[in-house]
């Protein structure tokens, strides 16, 4: 710190401010009790609301671009754009609502050091986990950074179960078993996958992009065999596409509560079909 | 020297009456229970400092007992003897385990007991003793006085932090009473999330560490604001005693690093109770991420442990050698430098668990720590040169510190280098290095600091002869205990093992015997202190001829520390130009200045 | 024997008259009220920096896990409703604005509007919570989209989706805890403002409680795009 402490021997020494923090060289108050004009505060609120709308709109635009053009917006850009807008918003809040603009600069320094610390904290673990195989590539085969997701043991309401498959797979198998018990062998499995694709088209808006091609070897969708075609043939794929490519805001979670309301779900899907447009089912990627 | 006419109509002056009529802060104002109530609700930083001192020393005792048990177990290797009886039945007998926790039929029972003992030792010593030790006790007591302030910036917050400390420690003790924890003080996943699943004791120990973090944060925050806002008139940043610089750097680390252990331990508690999977590879999480989180806090925190020790050494060295500290600014900035570098090197605790790229980076960064640390050591040694050294207990402890801390620091280098670390990691070499730095650094500085400031805190002189005897015994015991562990480590003795091959036994035995000598030395100090409280010589206000502001106060200080708000008229180490307050000028003659030289009004550098 | 001038000894000086904020005496260990005010703000900013670093842990966990399992985060985020997330953002921004206005009112001695602004802030806090619980937590939890071992949603795609829910619940949960603490602080300030404690000469508490509330807003500004706008 380059700050020069005043000398108490000085006749102009201010005893109520022994370190000269409150005054600049000319003796004016440098910070402290700044009152923000209300017009400014309203303006900042407006800007914050604008940037909130912007970030939502940009995210939807990115989805639309990715789905309809050959110019997919990758995750990196998704994060970068969203975080840039969030940073602008945060700066506005800190500078004006939290008065950093007119406050002791020390408080700004504290925040800057905090964010610097945060950056260090973020960089090294990410660097490590992304580059476990950087020096010895053979390690990639034996060490899966971040874990495999395949648990040896699942904790459930019925107690711990030793399975050797991922929890998601395990839950799916149990649900299919339940459905088979309820609807019979063939019909049970169909019921499961119908519900699966209903959920998917409900929440994900577009059906999983790997559904036709490029299925990764470990994708659970291999199990669905030809149920997807049947589901599409029954009109499931046209659910809710009339909103122009965005995530629907009007959905509620009525589908997912319980499996016993299948009929209600069917009706819902058909209604949507009746009013739905004729966009593709999101399988164009 | 500048003479200062000081206006008397200041609002903080306490009026013309000042604080002349006040008794010392230790003087009871009423009956026993009234006094207890006064202490329990006090916002006086001195009383809080004394309460902290008592509490951390109690924790030191608990952790020390656990350490003695660990050493005792290692006196002999565990042997499982099998014997076939005449009728063909096979009998197994386990020997060499501590009767306290062993089962002659089952060696695993004894191993378990050992695991709990060393975890107990680590967790208590780290979270409940050494992190709060110097800043919360001596720091609380002396930081405001050395700044010339009446109290810390937020006195009530200070009391709150003390109660949070007690509250957290209670959880730790509950966990011990429930049977103890065997995860090691680092709580590494998946061990800490998957063992003892039916018990809550690991949860409670983690919760204890979590709560203690808040205490640490509040103390650090309080100190930073105090240093910024409550320095005496005339005291610029570079007129502050180096102890303040050290505690200030410590506080920065506490504020920036401790919240990360908060979220880490919170995630660990969620992991244990709900299995959220962030550290569980079975759900896609990463156990090494836990290590990153943990060491992001726990590496900077070893500087929380050692930096205040550095500060104490700077004070003691300069006062008891009666010489201006060499390289004031270098020492001050190296404290800040250590605080800054401390956030960049945590990976050296996990070289073998992370990828080579990050390990290489961390290894290179680790060597940066050596620079500011070496700057300090060299400056201290240069201070001693041509000083008039008084070989009393604080000075002996300072020399002790320089010796052991240098060994501790230098043995850190092979551990920071990747290639040698592969051989030495998780061995007794690490244990020895750590203890040379923490015990030989922090604890030694702490004990020396208590001796140095004991007259000021309680108004009584400890017995110098017994202090010196205790110091020598501690020195012998310490080196016997831990130097042998370097030998063990280089030969391949892994840490945290309850047993070992027979070839190591002689080293383990020396180490265990050393631990008894060490304990004896510490007990001598304890009794010396307690005796001085009852029967000690009444201490003058400035027994050592110190120049920092605490020596201007009474011994022990009055409630508001000073009769009048002090002014920093001289630097904290201007022994060559200033007669110490309350001291006889004949007893402290100023050195003759060479022809044509002038005394400095401000410290050089 | 020293003679004591009663006007010079704080304990003996006659009590000043006026509103509590006008007669406010700063702590005896401070030189000036100005120092005390500055220190209160400095302390709060330091505390905020610890809060930021507390959340930093969640952000780092988020970043690392999303880096390793991007599909899980894309799939998981699709279950969230941008509408309610956005609504909550607006609610928090609005409350942040009212707090900033409350500080302004205290500075200008607009006692009535000080209270009104604080009450609006409290209403926003309750609204945030109500929206979060009714439209987000309850439907999701009842569908089985719960963290860790409580996860029982059978229609998930990616083996790492439980992890997404862990990140979602822990980060929003800790944030919600801060909303509660912040609301508590605002309530405290509101009660004391009814006692006339705050005015141009003493509004440190309004300012610091306000700073804390803005932090809650700040964290949400980052959490919202990270949780709701992933694709």
Q: Cβ separation of B357 and A124 shorter than 8 Å?
A: no
The phi and psi torsions of C180 (rounded to 5 degrees) equal -65, -45
Report the neighbours of B using a cutoff of 3 or more CB pairs below 8 angstroms.
A, C
pLDDT above 90 covers a percentage of chain B that reads 73
A213 confidence band (pLDDT: 50, 70, 90) = low
Beta bridge partners of A156: A159
**What mean pLDDT is predicted for residues B387-401?**
94
Share of chain B above pLDDT 70, in %: 94
**C86 with A49: Cβ contact below 8 A:** no
Angle between helices B242-274 and B140-147 (to 10 degrees): 140
Torsion of CA B478, B479, B481, B482, to 10 degrees: 110
Q: Quote the DSSP letter at residue B541.
A: S
Contacts of C68 in chain A (CB under 8 A): 129, 145-147
Question: Six-digit token pair at B267?
Answer: 């995630």
All residues of chain A having their beta carbon less than 8 Å from the beta carbon of residue C79 are 203
Tokens 């959905």 -> residue? A251
Mean pLDDT to the nearest integer, A91-97: 95
pTM, entire model: 0.88
Interface test with C, best of A121, A167, A200 (most C CBs within 10 A): A167
Distance from CA of B426 to the nearest CA of A (A): 21
CB contact under 8 A, A135 and B358: no
- Give the pLDDT band (50/70/90) at residue B82: confident
Q: Which element (helix H / strand E) includes A160?
A: strand A159-162
Q: B95 versus B230: which is more confidently predicted?
A: B230
d(CA C148, CA C79): 17
Can you tell me the distance from the alpha carbon of C89 to that of A202, in angstroms, rounded to the nearest whole number?
24
Judge whether residue B286 has pLDDT over 80.
yes
Pull the structure tokens for residue B369.
Answer: 């720590």
B42 and B48 in contact (C-beta within 8 Å)?
A: yes
- The verdict on a CB contact (< 8 Å) between C147 and B276 is yes
CB pairs < 8 Å spanning A and C: 223
List the pLDDT tens digit at each of the 231 positions of chain C.
Answer: 455 555 555 555 556 677 888 888 888 888 888 899 999 999 999 999 999 999 999 999 999 999 888 888 988 898 999 999 999 999 999 999 999 999 999 999 999 999 999 999 999 999 999 999 999 999 999 999 998 888 889 988 888 888 999 999 999 999 999 999 999 999 999 999 999 999 888 899 999 999 999 999 999 999 999 999 987
CA distance A64 to B285: 31
Cβ(B78)–Cβ(B498) under 8 Å? yes
The shortest CB-CB distance from B275 to any of C38, C50, C149 is to: C149
Predicted pLDDT of residue B6: 43
- Residue in chain C nearest B21 by alpha carbon: C2
Give tens-digit pLDDT for A229-247.
788 777 775 544 443 333 3
User: Taking CB atoms and an 8 Å limit, are B263 and C56 in contact across chains?
Assistant: yes
B393-416 helix and B464-491 helix, angle to the nearest 10 degrees? 10
- With b for 16 or more beta-carbon neighbours within 10 A and e for fewer, the C87-117 pattern comes to bbbbbbbbbbbbbbbbbbbbbeebbeebbeb
Partner C contacted by A114 (CB < 8 A): yes
Distance CA B108, CA A83 (A): 53
Look at residue B547 and tell me whether its pLDDT is greater than 60: yes
CA–CA distance, C72 with B106 (Å, rounded to integer):
47
Report CA-CA distances (Å) from A161 to A157, A167, A171, B191: 10, 10, 11, 19
Of B1-5, B15-19, B433-437, C70-74, which gets the smallest average pLDDT? Answer: B1-5
Compute the average pLDDT of residues B227-238: 92
What token pair was written down for B502? 């027979």
pLDDT of residue A142: 63
Give me the residue from B280, B287, B355 closest to A132, CB to CB: B355
> Which residues in chain B have their CB less than 8 angstroms from residue C35's CB?
229-230
pLDDT number for residue B7: 43
Instruction: Give B24's DSSP letter.
Output: B
- Whether residue B265 contacts residue B206, with contact meaning beta carbons closer than 8 Å, is answered with yes
pLDDT in tens, B348-380: 999 988 888 899 999 999 999 999 999 999 999
Q: Give the contacts of A209 (CB within 8 A, at least 6 positions apart).
A: A282, A283, A285
Q: What is the mean pLDDT of residues B235-251?
A: 95
Answer whether residue A2 shows pLDDT above 50. no
Contact C43 B259 (CB under 8 A): no
B71 has a pLDDT exceeding 70: yes
Residue B161 has pLDDT above 60, yes or no: yes
Give yes or no for a cis peptide into A35 (omega within 30° of 0): no
Question: What does the pLDDT read at residue B21?
Answer: 58
Per-residue pLDDT at A113: 94
Q: Are B435 and B515 in contact, with CB atoms under 8 Å apart?
A: no
Q: Can you say whether the dihedral through the CA atoms of B151, B154, B155, B158 is positive or negative?
A: negative
Which other chains touch chain A, taking contact as 3+ CB pairs less than 8 Å apart?
B, C
Strands (E), B479-601: 537-538
- Do residues B496 and B118 lie in contact, with contact meaning Cβ atoms separated by under 8 Å? yes
Residues of chain C positioned with their CB less than 8 A from the CB of A99: 103, 207
- Give the mean pLDDT of A71-86: 86
pLDDT at B514 over 70: yes
Q: Which residues of A touch C142 (CB under 8 A)?
A: 253, 257
b/e sequence B49-59, b meaning 16+ C-beta within 10 Å: bbbbbebbbeb
List Cβ neighbours of A151 (8 Å cut-off, separation of 6 or more).
Answer: A163, A165, A166, A167, B280, B282, B283
pLDDT score of A177 more than 50: yes
CA separation for the pair B517, B479 (Å, rounded) = 10
Q: How far is A240 from chain B (nearest CA, A)?
A: 32
Select from A3, A22, A124 the residue whose CB has the most chain B CBs within 10 Å, as the one to mutate to test that interface: A124
| pLDDT score recorded for residue B335 | 94
Distances (CA, A) of B461 to B318, B523, B538: 20, 18, 6
Q: Which one, of B113, C59, B468, C136, lies nearest residue A115 by Cα?
A: C59
B183 phi, psi to nearest 5 deg = -85, -10
Query: Omega of the bond prior to B196 within 30 degrees of 0, cis?
Result: no
Query: What integer pLDDT is reported at residue A251 of this predicted model?
Result: 40
Question: Quick one: tokens of A85?
Answer: 């807008």
Residue B85 banded pLDDT, cuts 50, 70, 90? confident
């Amino acid at each position: 710190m380059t700050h020069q402490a005043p000398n108490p021997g000085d006749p102009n020494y201010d005893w109520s401010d022994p370190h000269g923090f409150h005054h600049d060289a000319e003796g004016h108050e440098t910070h402290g009790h700044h009152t923000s004009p209300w017009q400014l505060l309203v303006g900042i609120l407006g800007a914050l609301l604008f940037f909130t709308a912007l970030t939502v709109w940009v995210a939807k635009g990115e989805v639309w671009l990715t789905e309809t053009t050959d110019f997919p917006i990758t995750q990196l850009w998704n994060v970068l754009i969203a975080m840039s807008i969030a940073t602008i918003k945060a700066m506005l809040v800190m500078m004006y609502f939290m008065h950093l603009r007119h406050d002791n600069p020390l408080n700004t320094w504290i925040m800057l050091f905090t964010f610097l610390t945060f950056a260090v904290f973020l960089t090294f673990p990410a660097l490590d986990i992304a580059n476990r195989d950087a020096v010895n590539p053979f390690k990639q085969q034996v060490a899966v950074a971040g874990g495999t997701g395949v648990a040896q043991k699942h904790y459930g309401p019925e107690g711990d179960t030793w399975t050797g498959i991922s929890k998601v797979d395990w839950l799916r198998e149990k649900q299919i078993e339940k459905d088979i018990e309820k609807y019979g062998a063939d019909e049970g499995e169909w019921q499961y996958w119908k519900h699966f694709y209903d959920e998917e088209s409900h929440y994900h808006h577009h059906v999983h992009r790997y559904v036709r091609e490029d299925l990764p070897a470990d994708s659970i969708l291999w199990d669905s065999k030809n149920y997807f075609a049947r589901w599409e043939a029954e009109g499931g794929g046209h659910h809710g596409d009339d909103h122009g490519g965005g995530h629907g805001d009007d959905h509620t979670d009525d589908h997912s509560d319980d499996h016993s309301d299948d009929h209600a779900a069917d009706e819902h899907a058909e209604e949507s079909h009746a009013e739905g447009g004729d966009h593709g089912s999101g399988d164009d990627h | 020297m500048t003479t200062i006419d000081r206006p008397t109509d200041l609002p903080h002056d306490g009026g013309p009456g000042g604080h002349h009529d006040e008794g010392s802060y230790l003087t009871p104002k009423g009956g026993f229970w009234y006094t207890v109530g006064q202490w329990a609700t006090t916002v006086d930083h001195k009383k809080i400092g004394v309460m902290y001192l008592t509490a951390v020393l109690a924790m030191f005792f608990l952790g020390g007992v656990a350490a003695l048990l660990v050493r005792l177990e290692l006196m002999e290797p565990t042997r499982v003897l099998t014997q076939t009886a005449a009728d063909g039945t096979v009998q197994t007998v386990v020997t060499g385990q501590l009767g306290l926790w062993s089962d002659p039929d089952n060696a695993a029972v004894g191993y378990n007991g050992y695991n709990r003992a060393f975890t107990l030792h680590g967790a208590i010593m780290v979270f409940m003793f050494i992190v709060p030790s110097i800043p919360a006790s001596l720091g609380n007591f002396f930081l405001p006085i050395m700044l010339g302030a009446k109290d810390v910036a937020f006195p009530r917050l200070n009391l709150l932090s003390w109660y949070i400390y007690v509250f957290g420690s209670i959880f730790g003790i509950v966990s011990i009473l429930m049977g103890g924890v065997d995860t090691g003080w680092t709580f590494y996943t998946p061990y800490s999330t998957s063992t003892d699943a039916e018990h809550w004791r690991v949860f409670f120990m983690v919760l204890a560490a979590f709560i203690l973090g808040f205490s640490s944060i509040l103390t650090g925050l309080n100190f930073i604001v105090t240093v910024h806002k409550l320095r005496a008139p005339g005291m610029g940043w570079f007129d502050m005693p180096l102890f303040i610089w050290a505690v200030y750097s410590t506080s920065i680390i506490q504020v920036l690093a401790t919240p990360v252990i908060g979220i880490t331990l919170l995630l660990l508690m969620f992991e244990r109770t709900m299995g959220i999977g962030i550290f569980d590879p079975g759900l896609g999480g990463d156990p090494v991420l836990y290590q990153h989180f943990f060491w992001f806090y726990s590496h900077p925190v070893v500087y929380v442990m050692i930096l205040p020790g550095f500060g104490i050494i700077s004070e003691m060295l300069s006062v008891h050698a009666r010489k201006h500290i060499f390289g004031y600014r270098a020492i001050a900035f190296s404290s800040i430098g250590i605080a800054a570098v401390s956030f960049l090197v945590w990976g050296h605790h996990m070289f073998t668990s992370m990828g080579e790229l990050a390990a290489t980076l961390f290894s290179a960064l680790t060597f940066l720590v050596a620079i500011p640390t070496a700057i300090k050591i060299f400056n201290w040694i240069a201070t001693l040169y041509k000083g008039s050294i008084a070989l009393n207990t604080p000075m002996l402890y300072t020399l002790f510190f320089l010796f052991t801390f240098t060994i501790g620091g230098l043995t850190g280098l092979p551990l920071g280098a990747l290639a040698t670390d592969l051989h030495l990691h998780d061995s007794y070499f690490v244990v020895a290095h750590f203890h040379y730095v923490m015990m030989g650094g922090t604890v030694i500085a702490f004990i020396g600091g208590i001796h140095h400031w004991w007259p000021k805190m309680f108004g009584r002189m400890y017995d110098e002869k017994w202090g010196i005897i205790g110091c020598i015994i501690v020195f012998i015991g310490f080196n016997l205990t831990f130097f042998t562990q370097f030998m063990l480590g280089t030969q391949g003795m892994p840490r945290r093992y309850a047993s070992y091959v027979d070839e190591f036994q002689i080293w383990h035995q020396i180490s265990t015997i050393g631990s008894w000598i060490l304990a004896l030395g510490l007990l001598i100090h304890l009794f010396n202190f307690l005796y001085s409280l009852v029967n000690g010589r009444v201490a003058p206000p400035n027994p050592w001829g110190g120049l920092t502001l605490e020596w201007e106060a009474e011994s022990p200080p009055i409630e508001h520390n000073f009769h009048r708000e002090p002014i920093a008229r001289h630097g904290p180490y201007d022994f060559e130009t200033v007669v110490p307050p309350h001291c006889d000028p004949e007893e402290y003659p100023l050195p003759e200045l060479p022809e044509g030289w002038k005394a400095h009004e401000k410290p050089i550098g | 024997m020293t003679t004591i001038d009663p006007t010079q000894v704080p304990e003996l000086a006659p009590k000043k008259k006026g509103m509590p904020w006008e007669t406010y005496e700063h702590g005896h260990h401070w030189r000036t009220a100005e120092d005390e005010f500055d220190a209160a703000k400095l302390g709060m900013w330091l505390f905020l920096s610890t809060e930021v670093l507390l959340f930093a842990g969640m952000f780092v966990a988020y970043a690392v896990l999303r880096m390793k399992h991007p599909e899980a985060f894309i799939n998981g985020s699709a279950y969230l409703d941008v509408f309610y997330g956005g609504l909550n953002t607006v609610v928090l921004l609005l409350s942040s604005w009212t707090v900033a206005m409350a500080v302004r009112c205290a500075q200008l001695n607009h006692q009535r509007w000080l209270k009104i602004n604080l009450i609006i802030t409290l209403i926003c806090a309750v609204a945030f919570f109500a929206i979060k619980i009714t439209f987000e937590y309850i439907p999701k939890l009842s569908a089985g989209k719960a963290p860790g071992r409580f996860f029982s949603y059978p229609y998930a795609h990616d083996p790492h989706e439980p992890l997404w829910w862990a990140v979602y619940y822990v980060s929003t949960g800790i944030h919600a805890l801060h909303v509660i603490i912040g609301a508590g602080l605002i309530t405290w300030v509101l009660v004391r403002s009814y006692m006339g404690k705050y005015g141009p000469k003493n509004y440190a508490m309004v300012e610091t409680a306000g700073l804390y509330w803005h932090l809650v807003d700040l964290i949400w500004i980052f959490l919202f795009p990270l949780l709701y706008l992933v694709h």
